Structure 1
Amino acid sequence: MERLLTVIRNKYLIAGAAFFVWMCFFDRYDLGTQFAYQQEKTKLEGEKVFYVTEIERMEKSVKDLQSNPSEIQRIARERYKMKKDNEDIYMVKEVEAKE
Structure 2
Amino acid sequence: MKKRIEDLLLKYPFLKWATNRFVLATLFFIVWLLFFDTYAFYDHRVIDKEIKKLDNNKEYYQTEINNDDKNIKKLYRKEEVERYAREKYYMKRENEDIYIIDSDKEYTNKEN
Q: Are 1:50 and 2:60 an aligned pair?
A: yes
What TM-score, normalized to structure 1?
A: 0.88
SS in structure 2 of the partner of residue 86 of structure 1? coil
Alignment of 1:25-64 (within 5 A): 25-64=35-74
Aligned-residue CA RMSD (Å): 1.8
Q: 1:10 aligns with which of 10, 16, 20?
A: 20
Q: How many residues align?
A: 98
Quote the Cα distance in structure 2 between the aligned partners of 1:97 and 1:39. Answer: 46
Amino acid corresponding to residue 82 of structure 2 in structure 1: Q
Amino acid corresponding to residue 88 of structure 1 in structure 2: D
| Residue in structure 1 matched with residue 80 of structure 2 by the alignment | 71
Percentage of matched positions with identical amino acids: 36
SS in structure 1 of the partner of residue 75 of structure 2? helix
Amino acid corresponding to residue 7 of structure 1 in structure 2: W
Quote the Cα distance in structure 2 between the aligned partners of 1:23 and 1:62. Answer: 52
Taking structure 1 as reference, are residues 35 and 96 closer, same or farther at Cα in structure 2, changes over 3 Å only? farther
- Return 5+ residue gaps in structure 1 as ranges: none
Q: Could you list the runs of 4 or more consecutive aligned residues of structure 1 that deviate by over 4 angstroms after TM superposition?
A: none
1:39-97, Cα deviation, whole Å (9 max, x unpaired): 1111111000000000011111111101x211101111011111000000000002146
